[in-house]
Amino acid sequence: MTGGVQRFELRDKVGLVLGVANERSIAWAIARRLDEAGAGLALTYQSERVKPAVESLAAGLRESVVHPCDVTEDRQIEALFTRLEEQWGRLDFLVHSIAFAPAAELGGEFVKTSRAGFREALEVSAYSLIPLARGAAPLMRGRGGSLVALTFQASERVFPGYNAMGTAKAALEQIVRHLA
C-alpha cells in the first residue's frame, strides 16, 4: 500500500463505467483509478448536454471510448453493448454509478413524493442495472466478470430529504443480490 491506497493491476482488462457527468462525479474518480491500474474503459453519457464534458475527461485516459447511453431507453442500452462487442468482443467489469431523482422529489415530506418522480428515481437508479447486466452477461460469459453498483447508507436508514432515493438505493441493493 502506498499512501493508504492499495494498488491493483487491470492490464488487459476492459470495462464499462456508467455515471460520469463531470470531474466531480464519483464515477469519474473510479474511472481514473481503473485507468491508472491499466484497464481500457468505455464511458457513457446520458445526453448531448454532458457529452462534451465526458469526452474531454475521457481524452485524458490511457485507453477509452465514449458512447451514448440513456438507461431509460432499452435501444440505447442494446446499442451500447453491440458497440462494445464490436470494439472488444468481451467485457471484464461494469461499474453502475447512476442515480437520479427529479429535484422536486428531494427535500420536503416523503409522503408528498409523486408517482412519476418515484418511478423515475427507481427506473434510473435501480432498475437500470437489470438491462445493463443483461447486456453485459454475454460479453462476460466464460471468462468471469464483475458488476459493481454504488449505493448509499440511505438504503438502510432515513436521511431527511433523500426521500425516493433511499428507496431506490435499497432496491438497487436487492437487485444486486438477485444478480449474484
Is the pLDDT at 10 greater than 60, yes or no? yes
Q: Residues 109-135: what's their mean pLDDT?
A: 97
Confidence at residue 5, expressed as pLDDT on a 0 to 100 scale: 65
Confidence at residue 8, expressed as pLDDT on a 0 to 100 scale: 86
Cell, residue 115: 408517482
Of residues 154 and 55, more confidence is placed in 55
Cα 175 from Cα 61, distance rounded (Å)? 31
Q: What percent of the chain has pLDDT over 90?
A: 92
169 is catalytic: yes
Architecture of domain 14-179: 3-Layer(aba) Sandwich (3.40)
- For the chain, give every domain's residue range: 14-179
Indicate which residue of 13, 45, 127, 169 is catalytic.
Answer: 169
Is the pLDDT at 3 greater than 70, yes or no? no
Cell, residue 51: 457529452
Is the pLDDT at 179 greater than 90, yes or no? yes
Cell, residue 141: 460469459
pTM of the model: 0.93
In sequence order, the 6+-apart residues with CB closer than 8 A to the CB of 56 are none
The residues with which 95 forms a beta bridge, in sequence order, are 17, 148
Is the pLDDT at 43 greater than 90, yes or no? yes
Of residues 97 and 142, more confidence is placed in 97
Mean pLDDT of the chain: 95
58-117 pLDDT, tens digit each: 999 999 999 999 999 999 999 999 999 999 999 999 999 999 999 999 999 999 999 999
Cα→Cα distances 123→105, 117, 118, 131, 139, Å: 14, 10, 9, 11, 24
Is the pLDDT at 1 greater than 50, yes or no? no
Q: Is 52 exposed, middle or buried (0-12, 13-18, 19+ CB in 10 A)?
A: exposed
Taking the CA atoms of 7, 8, 11 and 15 in sequence, report the sign of the dihedral they define. negative
112 is catalytic: no
Q: What is the DSSP-derived secondary structure letter of residue 60?
A: T
Cell, residue 59: 481524452
Confidence at residue 4, expressed as pLDDT on a 0 to 100 scale: 64
